[in-house]
Amino acid sequence: MTSASNILYKLYEDRLLASLDKSRFPHHIGIILDGHRRYARSEGLPSYTDSYRAGMGRFQEFIGWAEELGIPAITGWVLSRENLDRPAEELDPYFNVLIELFERLPEQCSRHDMALRFVGSLDLLPDAVVAAAKAAAERSREGSRRLTIAMGYGGRQEIVDAVRDLVAGLVREGVAAGDLVARIDAEAIGRHLYSADLPDPDLLIRTSGESRLSGFLLWQSAYAEFAFVDVFWPAFRRVDFLRALRDYTRRERRFGK
C-alpha cells in the first residue's frame, strides 16, 4: 500500500470501529484459519512454509485485536483430524511452524492476561508438537481471558469422546445399565466436552470463502452466528474482523426461539 492508501485505510478502520455497538460484542469467538495453501499459490510464494508463518503471525495479531476490543475468549482451529491425512511434505513444515508459534505464545498470553489450552486428539500428532503445546500451556495456565487452540480436532469426535467420558463416569459411580439412558441428556453431555467451562461461541468466523463449518464446534455452535469471509487466512485484516463484528452486532439473536 502507498502512504496515502494506508492513511485512508486507517481512517476507514477507525470509522468502522467507532460505529460498533460494543455492548453487543461476542464473549467467545471461534475462528477457522483456512486458506494457507491457496494463499501461497495465489501469491506465488516459494513454499507453503511462508504462508504458514504468515498465517500464524496473523493469528497472533488476531489475538491482539480481540484483546483490544475486550473479547474474553477465542478458540482457534489450526488443524483438523482430516488434515492429518495430507502428505508429509505439507504437514511437516506446518508442524514446525506450529512449534514456533507455541514457543512464542506464552509471552503474548502473559501480556494479554490469557490462559492457554489445547484441545483435540493430541495423541495423533507428532511428539514434538505435543511437547511444545504442553510446555506452552503449562507456562500459560492463569489468566482472566481464554485462548483455546484446537488441533487434531474433529467436532464429531469431540461429541463421541464426551459421551464416552460421561458413560464411563456413570459406570464408575455404579449406575446400573438400565438406568444409564435416563442419565444421558444434553446438559450432561455438555459437561464433558473439551472446553466445558467455556460459554458456547457467539460468533464463528471462517476465512477463504468456504461457507461451511467442516465440523468445528458442532455441539457448541447450535445458536452461534456465522461469518464467512472471502480472504485467505494469511491475508485476513483487522478491517475484515471489524466488518464481521459489525454484522454480528446488527443481528437479532433468537437462540432457536
Q: Which of 83, 96, 161, 240 is catalytic?
A: 83
83 is catalytic: yes
What single letter denotes the amino acid at residue 111?
Answer: R
User: Distance between alpha carbon 93 and the CA centroid of its chain, in Å?
Assistant: 20
Residue 200: DSSP 8-state? P
Question: What is the C-alpha to C-alpha distance for residues 190 and 193, in angstroms, rounded to an integer?
Answer: 5
Q: Any bridge partners for residue 77, and if so which?
A: 32, 150
Does 34 participate in catalysis according to the annotation? yes
CA 201, CA 218: separation in Å to the nearest integer? 11
Cα–Cα distance between 202 and 222 in angstroms, integer? 10
Give the containing element (helix H, strand E) for 124: none
Query: Which one of the listed residues 6, 14, 21, 34 is annotated catalytic?
Result: 34
Q: How far apart (Å, rounded) are the C-alpha atoms in residues 71 and 63?
A: 9
Radius of gyration, CA atoms only, the chain: 19
Q: Is 234 within 8 Å of 36 (Cβ atoms)?
A: yes
Query: Long-range CB contacts (< 8 A, 24+ apart) of 92-96?
Result: 93/47, 93/48, 93/49, 93/52, 94/36, 94/48, 94/52, 95/125, 95/126, 95/128, 95/129, 96/49
Nearest 5°: phi and psi at 150? Answer: -100, 120
Active site residues: 34, 83
